[in-house]
Amino acid sequence: MIDKLVIVESPAKANTIKKFLGGKSKVVASMGHIRDLPKSKLGINIENNFEPEYINIRGKASLINSLKKDAKDAKKVYLATDPDREGEAIAWHLAYILGIDPDSICRVTFNEITKDAVKKGINNPRKIDLNLTDAQQARRVLDRIVGYKISPVLWKKVKRGLSAGRVQSVAVKLICDREDEIEKFIPEEYWNINLQVSDKKTKTKFDCKFIGKDGKKIELHSKEEVDKVLQDLENAKYKVVDVKKGERKRNPAPPFTTSTLQQDASRKLNFAIKKTMSVAQTLYEGIKLPEYGVTGLITYMRTDSTRISNEARSAAKDYIVGTYGEKYYENRFFKTKSEAQDAHEAIRPAHVELSPDIIKNSLSADQYKLYRLIYNRFMASQMASAIYDTVSVSIDGNEYNFKANGQTLKFKGYMTLYVENEEKEEFEKIPELEVGEEVKKEKIDAKQSFTEPPPRYTEASLVKTLEEKGIGRPSTYAPTITTILTRRYIEKIQKQLIPTDLGKVVNKLLIENFGDIINVEFTAKMEEEFDKIAEGNEKWKKVIGEFYEPFEKIVEKVEKELEHVTLQYEESDIPCEKCGRMMVYKYGRYGRFLACPGYPECQNAKPIIETVDVPCPVCGGVVQIRKTKKRRNYYICENNTGIGEGCYYISWNKPKKGEKFVPTNDADLKLYENDNKKLSRKTTKKKKATKKK
């Protein structure tokens, strides 16, 4: 007989918790969700007040039978899935499968997987929070309705297999809108004048920036304006007219939330959002450490709160004072955003005494980098401010005004451990100057510049925007970005998120026909409704009902209007070699391709082959740009046809004019070998097929 059966979501988490529970306890994993809506149909009974038609997930029958057997043998079953809405819903589904009354005391949660936290959770079980499960159900049902009702429109008008989504389509819209801004952007000319001077005592040189004239700010937009200023300053004498000295404090950032962790890991570690969450999950669930065994290293990584517990605050104080001294510690509280759920603490180390360097040998390279980032950010959040001595000097010449700013770091404070954003502005080392003192002009020059368009989104900046606009929640950022990348609506090139042609077509169709649903305001409003449901202030079926009635009318109207509309494809200048029609650009799984508009009578289609303007360094042929399955570019000669045949040129790097090529580096050798193996297999298949004939 089992005293306690504890069901968690993952085997790693189960292994960590096992060591904390003595006696005849058993810890098993549900492997995530065990019930969900069916994939083959809508799975929502619209007529029966939007009742979801859940089914057991295919392939989990043996797991479910095993869980039922364990539950039957246990005196008490605890559902210990993750401490968020999704985890609450999984617990609710487990209760249904195992015949447990959700109103019984069966639910336990751990914000961190430590011995104290696990025992505290087990000793303080509660009922399943039906408000949280209803909020999760509302999101699931609404997203299913939107996806399953709108996606078929894309299938009919663009291609099968595409999908629309309440959050993912808004994310694509943001990226497409930014691309439109960039394409329509008209650069404006502006000029800066830089004056370099030196003081007569120490001969120290420093730079001053042009501000204006007679105390009024002046912007320079043409060379003529600049030449006039430079002419007026031809024989000018420069005097110090003001010196301001002061002190500037720089305060630490709060501990990480999901969003800020994803942003910082992207900026500092070059981690994709999906990778950040995957590595964080392993740190939360537990790492095997010498002397400690399997140990959870961080608190729960899906949170929008910056709150920390009193115990963590006290542990941080002891560590900071003991390591750096009393003056480095400051007890800080950070205000959590009003719209945050605040169900969990901020992301922080579960054991302050386990510094990154102490456990480095037990972590993978990625785990160490992320743990160090989390650890240092948390510790820095409880440290004293950095202090700078600042000086601002105003210098005039022939009534024209210049300014120089300088600062020196006086006390490092929290910056001993962590800096959120490096100083973007460079500060001069300015010598001791007095008002009325004359300085010597060393040189003066002007620089022409042009305004730049807004930058493309990166994963980090997209997450920041989604959070600021109230779109999605901590658990949705990573899957949203993964989905739109997988669907090929956007592609990631050197960190930048760029809409594909397919993404632009889909976005245009959705915005023109479902603009009231695929927009920032509606998506943010629904997040607020989900929050109200989670708080018990709204009924989920009422929220879905109020959405569905107008939505159904929109879908019916769009389907009717688009029934006789044919999507106009862009015509190319390439004739179809089979029927002579001019081929058009269509959209497939891997982007654009050429197809005959005479389909289905003529089914001719072919890929669009990009080339580079440098001849093959081996044979002089045309070098083509191709993509791997993961959309990474590589370069191959058109004459590369297989082992022992034609040219052997293939490389990750774009060829340069005049350079010789030998596949000597490891990356190119592997690419070369894989390509030849693939071509060899194709050749073998062709030979076998010919023999059979």
For 298-310, write each residue's pLDDT tens digit: 999 999 889 998 9
How far apart are alpha carbons 188 and 174 in whole angstroms?
24
Residue type for 567, please? L
How far apart are alpha carbons 108 and 126 in whole angstroms?
6
Checking if the pLDDT of 435 tops 50, the result is yes
How far apart are alpha carbons 191 and 253 in whole angstroms?
35
**Of residues 405, 429, 427, 409, the one with CA closest to residue 419:** 409
Q: Is 458 in contact with 493 (CB distance < 8 Å)?
A: no
Checking if the pLDDT of 564 tops 80, the result is no
pLDDT given for residue 226 in this prediction: 96
Q: Give me the mean pLDDT over the 349-376 stretch.
A: 96
How far apart are alpha carbons 299 and 280 in whole angstroms?
9
pLDDT given for residue 155 in this prediction: 83
Checking if the pLDDT of 686 tops 50, the result is no
pLDDT band of residue 656 (cuts 50, 70, 90) is confident
How much is the mean pLDDT over the chain?
A: 89
Checking if the pLDDT of 350 tops 70, the result is yes
Checking if the pLDDT of 682 tops 50, the result is no
pTM: 0.81
How far apart are alpha carbons 648 and 643 in whole angstroms?
8
Q: Give me the mean pLDDT over the 128-147 stretch.
A: 95
Question: Tokens for 162?
Answer: 């595409």
Q: Is 226 in contact with 419 (CB distance < 8 Å)?
A: no
Contacts of 151-158 with CB under 8 Å at 24 or more apart are 153/509, 153/513, 153/555, 153/558, 153/559, 153/562, 154/506, 154/509, 154/510, 156/562, 157/509, 157/562, 157/565, 157/567, 158/502, 158/505, 158/506, 158/509, 158/567, 158/587
Q: Which of 84-88, 599-603, 649-653 has the highest mean pLDDT?
A: 84-88
pLDDT band of residue 156 (cuts 50, 70, 90) is confident
Question: Tokens for 299?
Answer: 């608190």
Question: Tokens for 250?
Answer: 């720089």
**Which residues, 6+ apart, have CB-to-CB distance to 13 below 8 Å?**
29, 113, 284, 285, 286
How far apart are alpha carbons 667 and 464 in whole angstroms?
35
Higher per-residue confidence, 361 vs 640: 361
* 258-269 and 477-486 helices, crossing angle to 10°: 50
pLDDT given for residue 570 in this prediction: 75
Strand order in the sheet with 582-588: 571-575, 582-588, 591-595, 605-607
**Of residues 463, 263, 475, 273, the one with CA closest to residue 373:** 263
Higher per-residue confidence, 63 vs 475: 63
Residue type for 535, please? E
pLDDT given for residue 488 in this prediction: 86
How far apart are alpha carbons 377 and 125 in whole angstroms?
32
pLDDT given for residue 567 in this prediction: 62
pLDDT given for residue 189 in this prediction: 95
DSSP of 267-292: HHH---HHHHHHHHHHHHH-EEETTT
Residue 327 DSSP one-character state: G
Distance set, CA 364 to CA 283, 301, 360 (Å): 11, 18, 8
pLDDT band of residue 691 (cuts 50, 70, 90) is low
Checking if the pLDDT of 535 tops 70, the result is yes
Residue 349 DSSP one-character state: B
Checking if the pLDDT of 88 tops 80, the result is yes
Positions marked catalytic: 300
Checking if the pLDDT of 425 tops 60, the result is no
Q: Is 296 in contact with 350 (CB distance < 8 Å)?
A: yes
Q: Give me the mean pLDDT over the 605-631 stretch.
A: 85
Higher per-residue confidence, 27 vs 24: 27
pLDDT given for residue 668 in this prediction: 61
